Structures are given as C-alpha cells and as structure tokens.
Copies of this chain bind each other. A is one copy, B any other.
Amino acid sequence: MARVLMCKANISEGRRKEVLEEVAAAVRAVPDVTLADWSGDPDHNRAVYTLLGPPEAVLEGAKALTSVALERIDMATHAGEHPRMGAVDVVPFIPLREVETEEAVEIARSFGAWLGEQGVPVYYYEDAATRPERESLPKIRKGQYEALAEKLEQPEWEPDEGPAEFNPKSGATVTGARFPLVAFNVNLVTDALDVAQTIARAVRHINGGYRYVRGMGFALEDKGMVQVSMNLTNYTKTPIHRVLETVRSEAARYGVAVAGTELIGSVPLGALEDVVRFYLQTHEFSTDQVVETALLD
C-alpha cells in the first residue's frame, strides 16, 4: 500500500492567475506528487495547494512550489484580508497513510532547513514546534508581515531556520506537521442553544471532555435547530463514532434527538475505518480491503 503524506501550502497570492498557474505547473512537474487541489481567493489574496504523495516526493513538490512563489511574490506590495507573514506563508505537512507524525515532522524540518538556506526566516509550529509558545500559528503570526522586522530583533522570536533578518520580499514562513483534522458537526432537534453549548463543554478537551476534541455550540437559525460544531484533532485517538455517541447520549438527557451530522471538507479514509468497525461490529475490517486503495500503489 502506498504511503501518503499531504502538504497544504498557503501562499500570499490569489489574484494573478498566471502566477497561480505557474506554481501549479511547478508542482505537477515533480514525479510521484499529485496536485490534488488548488484554489486562489482574490479577496484574501491567498491560495492553497494540496499535494499528495510519498513523503520525499511531497518534500520535493513543496520545494518546487516555494521556489516559484518566492520568485514571483513580493510581500512589500501585498495586501489582502487574510492574516499572513510571508510569500510562502504556512506549509503544514499532514500524515495520511502509513506515515507517522514523527516522519512528517522530519519532512517539515528538512523543508524548513532548505528554506532557511534561501534566506527566509522560518518558524516551526504544531508538532514541529521547538518550544511550546510556537505551537500555535496565530501566536507566531501575530502582528503579521508588518510587525516582522521588529519581531526579528527580539531574542524570543529568533527564527528556527534562516537569518534573523527582515527579508522584505519574502517575509517569513511557518512550517510544521500536524495530524489531519476532521471537522464534524452534530445537529440537534431543538432550538435551545444552551443544550448545544452544554454538550460542547461535555465533549471538548478544555472542559474535561475528550482529549482531541475542540468544539462550540451554535444556533442554526434557518433550521430552528442548534449545532455542536467540533474539530477532532486526532481521529485515531478520539474517533468520530465515540464523540457522536457521547453527544447523542448527552442530548438524550434533555429529550433531544440527533437530526443529522456533517463531515465538512476532506476526510481521511483512516477516519472512516473506525466508523465502519464500530457500527458494523466488523472487528477485523481494514481500509486495505477497500478496492480503490489498490490504485494508490
């Protein structure tokens, strides 16, 4: 079975179509890398490229993308709604299939070391962070590009790679590794917002719930319902089915039923393995049995 690492490269360009195409072409020219998706947003003036493939190939793909972006983007003239600090702004590497987080961290560090050698200050975040206060992207990016020159003079913001000098054209890059998120919402047959908020507190880590759940309660006013909106940050350790059954059981104490759920955006096949095993009671099922996975070889 093929090993798959994902890279979601965020660059600070969302308007010049020829630049976006050139970046895409650079990725496509790298052997064994699939450019699964890319899109630019003119308001944010930002684009996201999704690369899939074996770890070393994805590293090469990220370098190829970065080389074009660094050449073609000048942060000194960049404006857009989305927070950003560099031409190649954020580059997370995400283990998808038979890749451990440790290996994704190694790839992120190889990418960061290479990028530092190009003269770009680099910060490692999430699982690749070198200290706890650099785990969070918003903390690293606080003040954005405009505050970067001053930030680089502070010892606590010495970059993990590259020079501690302001590079006006390229800014700075944040790279690292993280487990794939599963965005999972549960809609409840009630308009009582406090029910959703109470259940969100019951399941989320910060209030004593599951370790890998972040969540909030929302009103869905057009539906007359409420929603427990969650991010599962490690589906192998806090699986989808367990969270759903806990929400269902907590809702039942108020006489409230589950109207439906939503899996938002992309979902790793591995996250569905546990769903199938739990609900079908197929104790031995493996996603290796899924016929289409043979195409990943």
Contacts and interface: CB of A to CB of B under 8 A. Distances in A.
Number of copies: 2
A134 B133 CA distance: 71
A96 B279 CA distance: 24
Interface string A257-297: 01111110111110010011011111111000111111111
Interface residues of A, number: 45
* A contact face: mostly helix, strand, loop, or mixed: mixed
B280 A244 contact: yes
A34 B285 contact: no
Contacts of A297: 34, 36
Given A276-B275, A280-B241, A292 B263 contact: no
A4 interface: yes
Contact of A36 (B180, B240, B280, B291): B291
A37 interface: yes
Given A269-B290, A275-B275, A289-B267, A283 B296 contact: no
B281 A267 contact: no
Contacts of A289: 263, 265-267
A178 interface: no
A30 to B, nearest CB: 15
A180 B291 contact: yes
Contact of A294 (B36, B272, B278, B291): B36
A97 interface: yes
B291 A268 contact: yes
9 contacts: A6-B291, A34-B294, A36-B294, A96-B292, A258-B281, A260-B281, A263-B282, A263-B285, A295-B296
A52 interface: yes
Contacts of A265: 289
Contacts of A4: 292, 295
B244 A295 contact: no
Contact of A279 (B259, B266, B275): B275
Interface string A215-243: 00000000000000000000000001100
A213 to B, nearest CB: 16
A260 B2 CA distance: 29
Contacts of A261: 280-282
Contacts of A36: 291, 294-295, 297
Nearest to A240: B280
B292 A293 contact: yes
A148 B284 CA distance: 43
A263 B266 CA distance: 25
Contacts of A263: 276, 280, 282, 285, 289
A267 B280 contact: no
Contacts of A281: 258-261
A50 B295 CA distance: 11
A277 B272 CA distance: 11
